[in-house]
Amino acid sequence: AKQKTPCAPPRGMPESEEERLRNDALARDRMAEHMKKVEEAEARGETGDRGAWKWAIRKRVWDYLEEHNIAANPRPVHHRIPNFVNAELTAKQVELLPEFRRAKWVKVNPDSPQKEVRATTLRSNKMLLVPQPRLRTGFFSVLNPAKIEPNKYSYAATQAGVVELGEPIDLE
């Protein structure tokens, strides 16, 4: 029997942390299931899935991060965009880019390794655009540093902070 796909809560009703974690776990389980099917097909010599090669690369990267203990929480890193040791140093590199310095708006994905890039964007007084995972409450959330107390920038860069302090926008 096919499982029902979880959907975003009705507009104006934020997804609870428990629901978010359950939906994230469900998405990871589905990815693991898909990867298993891809690996089984490859073992049979079938190459019908044009994206199958990505799974092999992802698995090698995930395994490498875990085996060499350079993965950071949340662990295990399999079937997710992995966090890694010293991910926060990337924010310092991004901050040096001329493109970042000139930008007034910066789009940063909601994944754990990019948390510090989101906080740096706010500290740099730039509008932050964060895509909504699985389009939970809209298409993007916008965080305006002028509307957030500077001592809350780090919190605003978390998933919970984006939900609480961001303004959801959609395509309408």
Last residue of a domain, one of 27, 59, 84: 84
One domain for residues 47 and 79: yes
Is residue 9 a part of any domain in this protein?
no
Enclosing H/E stretch for 128: strand 127-131
CA dihedral 110, 111, 113, 117 (to 10 degrees): -10
One domain for residues 68 and 99: no
Is residue 67 a part of any domain in this protein?
yes
Is residue 10 a part of any domain in this protein?
no
Is residue 46 a part of any domain in this protein?
yes
Last residue of a domain, one of 63, 84, 105: 84
Q: pTM of the entire structure?
A: 0.69
> What is the block-wise mean pLDDT of the chain (172 residues), using blocks of 10 residues?
42 61 76 74 67 81 95 88 91 96 97 95 98 74 98 96 91 70
One domain for residues 95 and 160: yes
One domain for residues 80 and 94: no
Is residue 12 a part of any domain in this protein?
no
pLDDT of residue 2: 39
Is residue 6 a part of any domain in this protein?
no
pLDDT of residue 1: 43
Last residue of a domain, one of 84, 103, 128: 84
User: What contacts 70, CB < 8 A, 6 or more positions away?
Assistant: 64, 84, 85
pLDDT of residue 70: 94
In the sheet that holds 105-107, the strands lie side by side as: 105-107, 127-131, 140-143, 167-169
Enclosing H/E stretch for 141: strand 140-143
One domain for residues 77 and 114: no
For the chain, how many structural domains are there in total? Answer: 2
Range of the domain at 31: 17-84
* Cis, bond preceding 74 (omega within 30 deg of 0): yes
One domain for residues 66 and 121: no
